[in-house]
């Protein structure tokens, strides 16, 4: 049962004993029910957010966020053109732990409604470029995860092995992903400080001269050193804005050229479907497996025989520049497995168009050239039109029985990924 705002407010006074709470209300964060959250007003005029895990599985993620926010010292925050929440305190709440951070004002824009052009899209690209430019020592000093390109590549390969072991995924997709793993040029990137999976909900906006600008970034639990493309994969659900985000990102980055960042982001977006399948298989949930299989079959039809990595995508000059800036492959041992609980099931594979065409419509792709950071016009990395997320909880079937669960899965599978951009 969800904790009441008053219960959460009591944990604020425990975490911040020298202040009083004069007002409290429910805070809806779009976290798929993983947290209980409240917005509290303090007697010194501040507003704070208090969160506690709604189930035990969310506790490690909340603890990781607290640890990451501690790593954002005032000096680090001064390097960023946006605000990040400040960790104010923690307190016990029954058998869980509540985290209190300051409230960041602003509004969010759903990925499906993120517009193209100057404004929100370009500001996101600039914000991510600044984040990825942070010194790697910020993460290493705090003992947070550090992954080299080879470790990231190995993670992907192991995930594909797990998908293949389910014997449920289309062979055409497995072959497509294997070709990507085998393409050495795809994995010649410079590791960076990353959020570890940013999404549209990570960005807060405020209008400056009537133009939306990123004013804050949330969801820091995945702070680590890794592949910058992990923070860009969500753009598969923002087809209108993706080109402008990528162009602004490339234009404001002072890192080594990464001509294939968009290709890796596309690969990671597709692998979210694979994680959903593995999750359902490991959990023994036939409804999730059936849902994932339907999504993967639609994806397989859509990508046809295209490769994620186009021929001659990396120029010689760029390759030389990149190799000269590759980080030291030696790093502290970390768990580099791609856990299937490292994503939000509600924001995973249920990417559905609000005005989806009738079932059976042929898969389509966009022939719009990729962002300015790419020099080719291959459409295998064009955005997937996944313009609306249909929320669905990863809960055990309720008392209504297996028929309702099967019906939900069938409806989701029928609707998912019907609409693709045309080439």
Closest CA to 144 of 216, 67, 199: 67
Rounded average pLDDT over 42-56: 90
pTM higher than 0.85 for the full model? no
CA distance 70 to 54: 23
The per-residue pLDDT of the chain, averaged, comes to 78
Rounded average pLDDT over 389-401: 38
Q: To 5 degrees, how large is the angle CA 204–CA 205–CA 211? A: 165
Q: Which domains does the chain have, with CATH numbers?
A: 5-102 (3.30.200.20), 111-415 (3.90.1200.10)
Rounded average pLDDT over 251-273: 92
Cβ-based neighbours of 292, under 8 Å, separated by 6 or more: 168, 273, 276, 277, 280, 349
Q: Could you report the per-residue pLDDT of 294-320, keeping only the tens digit for each?
A: 999 999 998 876 889 877 554 444 444
Q: Could you report the per-residue pLDDT of 51-95, keeping only the tens digit for each?
A: 998 888 889 999 999 999 999 999 999 999 999 999 999 988 878
pLDDT of residue 313: 54
Instruction: Kindly tell me the burial class for residue 389, based on how many C-beta atoms sit within 10 Å of its own C-beta (0-12, 13-18, 19 or more).
Output: buried
337 or 27, greater pLDDT: 27
E strand residue ranges, 44-186: 47-53, 87-93, 96-102
Is residue 415 a contact partner of residue 387, using CB atoms and an 8 Å limit? no
């Amino acid at each position: 049962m969800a904790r009441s705002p008053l219960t959460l407010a009591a944990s604020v006074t425990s975490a911040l004993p020298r202040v009083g709470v004069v007002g409290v209300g429910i805070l809806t964060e779009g976290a798929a029910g993983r947290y209980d959250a409240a917005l509290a007003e303090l007697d010194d005029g501040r507003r704070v957010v208090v969160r506690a895990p709604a189930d035990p599985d969310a506790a490690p993620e909340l603890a990781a966020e607290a640890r990451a926010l501690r790593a954002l010292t005032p000096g680090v925050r001064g390097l960023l053109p946006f605000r990040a929440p400040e960790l104010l305190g923690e307190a016990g709440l029954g058998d869980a732990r509540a985290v209190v951070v300051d409230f960041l004002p602003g509004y969010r824009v759903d990925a499906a409604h993120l517009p193209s052009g100057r404004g929100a899209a370009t500001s996101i690209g600039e914000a991510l470029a600044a984040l990825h430019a942070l010194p790697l020592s910020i993460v290493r000093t705090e003992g947070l995860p550090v992954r080299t390109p080879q470790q990231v590549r190995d993670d992907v390969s192991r995930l594909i092995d797990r998908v293949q072991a389910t014997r449920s995924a289309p062979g055409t997709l497995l072959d497509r992903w294997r070709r990507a793993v085998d393409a050495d040029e795809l994995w010649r990137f410079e590791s960076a400080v990353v959020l570890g999976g940013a999404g549209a909900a990570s960005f807060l906006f405020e209008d400056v001269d009537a133009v939306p600008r990123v004013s804050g970034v949330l969801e820091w639990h995945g702070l680590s050193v890794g592949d910058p493309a992990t923070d860009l994969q969500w753009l598969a659900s923002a087809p209108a804005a993706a080109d402008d985000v990528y162009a602004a990102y490339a234009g404001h980055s002072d890192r080594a050229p990464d001509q294939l960042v968009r290709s890796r982001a596309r690969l990671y977006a597709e692998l979210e479907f694979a994680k959903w399948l593995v999750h359902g298989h490991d959990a023994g949930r036939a409804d999730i497996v059936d849902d994932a299989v339907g999504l993967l079959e639609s994806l397989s039809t859509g990508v046809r025989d295209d490769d994620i990595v186009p021929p001659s995508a990396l120029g010689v000059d760029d390759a030389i520049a990149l190799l000269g800036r590759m980080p030291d492959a030696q790093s502290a041992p970390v768990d580099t497995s791609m856990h299937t609980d490292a994503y939000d099931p509600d924001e995973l594979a249920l990417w559905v168009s609000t005005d989806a065409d009738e079932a059976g419509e042929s898969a389509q792709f966009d022939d719009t050239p990729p962002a300015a950071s790419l020099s080719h016009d291959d459409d295998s990395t064009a955005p997937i039109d996944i313009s609306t997320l249909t929320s669905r909880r990863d809960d055990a079937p309720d008392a209504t029985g297996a028929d309702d669960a099967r019906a939900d899965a069938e409806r989701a599978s029928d609707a998912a990924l019907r609409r693709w951009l045309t080439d």
